[in-house]
Amino acid sequence: MAQTILVTGSTSGFGRLTVETLARQGYIVFAGMRAVAGKNAPAAEELRALADREHLTLHIIEIDITDDASVEQAIASLVGITGRLDVVVNNAGIAYSGPLEAFTLKQVQQQFDTNVFGMWRVNRAALPHMRKQGSGLLLQIGSIAGRVALPFLGLYGATKFALEGLTESYRDELAPFGIDAAIIEPGTYPTPIDAKHQVAADTERAALYQTALDAFMTPFYAENRSATPPDSQEVADAVARVIAQPAGKRPLHTVVATVAQREAPQAVNDAVTQATQSFFEMLDLPLVTLAPKGEKQELKT
């Protein structure tokens, strides 16, 4: 039976490409988006038309990940339709850029409310269903900015660092229930996130950093603005590859980026994996790892 997948934030960018890619691969896909009857009605209509044209099992589902009731209702209605939920792709996100001291606390809360608490809400609503099934995958869209700390993207990066830690803890905690967790770490891609991004509200303080900000941002985003920008489909394909791998065999981290952006986050991943393993060994801590299908769950001590 085809797996049921929810992708949050499917109106544009990686989310849009991911739902199209997964639906074409034969999955039952729920394209999550907010304001389906409002500002996102055209995006919803385009996906419905695509589903009709290509005979895809692609449903649109209303979900605002900053709203508890919206998240709970979306998961309940999805499970009401298919009876199960195999994969959640926590893709919805927003980006704030600017010097840390120029953000208001309200902006900091908004950035975390979407990128971190939003993922948390969705996973919290999804997990009871996955636990009942004895299987599932929580797949977060992180960022290379969650592996390498960057100036002027520090607030956004902090939310992506948070996703890293949470994904690792989910992975350890959920293995005994047969549930997997993993994270995709894209580099910079020319999606609409750039046009939608928010800047620090305290313009007086922000102005003090403007020269340094420009000196960092211009080369950092140079490839996106070049004649041959990176192709966002690479991220959708990486999501599909991770989903297609069997439980117990999926990589915890997957960096998807140009060669220049890939090396350092990959080195961080390798070092973290090795250091975490030796931490558990040194302290004699128990760690359950997800067993491939048909094999016994392994308790490493």
Ligand X SMILES: NC(=O)c1ccc[n+]([C@@H]2O[C@H](COP(=O)([O-])OP(=O)(O)OC[C@H]3O[C@@H](n4cnc5c(N)ncnc54)[C@H](OP(=O)(O)O)[C@@H]3O)[C@@H](O)[C@H]2O)c1
Binding site for ligand X (CB under 6 A): 8-15, 33-35, 40, 63-66, 91-95, 114, 118, 141, 143, 186, 188-189, 191-193, 196
- In the DSSP assignment, the letter for residue 283 is T
Report how far apart, in Å, the C-alpha atoms of 276 and of each of 180, 288, 301 are: 18, 14, 13
Q: How far is the CB of 299 from ligand X (least distance, A)?
A: 34
Looking at the annotation, which residues are catalytic? 156
- Identity of the amino acid at 29: V
State how far Cα 244 lies from the chain centre: 17
Pairing of strands 96-97, 87-90: unpaired
Residue 58's φ and ψ, nearest 5 degrees, are: -130, 110
Contact assessment for residue 122 and residue 163, using Cβ atoms and an 8 Å cutoff: no
Rg (CA), the chain: 19
Nearer to ligand X, 196 or 249 (CB): 196
Residue 286's φ and ψ, nearest 5 degrees, are: -75, 140
Q: How far is the CB of 189 from ligand X (least distance, A)?
A: 4
Nearer to ligand X, 40 or 135 (CB): 40
Q: How far is the CB of 284 from ligand X (least distance, A)?
A: 37
Nearer to ligand X, 75 or 175 (CB): 75
Nearer to ligand X, 19 or 51 (CB): 19
Nearer to ligand X, 97 or 188 (CB): 188
Distance CA 120, CA 135 (A): 18
Nearest partner of 254 among 169, 142, 151, 148, judged by Cα: 142
Residue nearest to ligand X (CB): 13
Token pair, residue 287, equals 């760690």
Q: How far is the CB of 10 from ligand X (least distance, A)?
A: 6
Q: How far is the CB of 125 from ligand X (least distance, A)?
A: 13
Q: Collapse the DSSP code of 299 into the 3-class scheme (helix H, G, I; strand E, B; otherwise coil) and give the result.
A: strand
- Identity of the amino acid at 32: G
Q: Collapse the DSSP code of 254 into the 3-class scheme (helix H, G, I; strand E, B; otherwise coil) and give the result.
A: strand
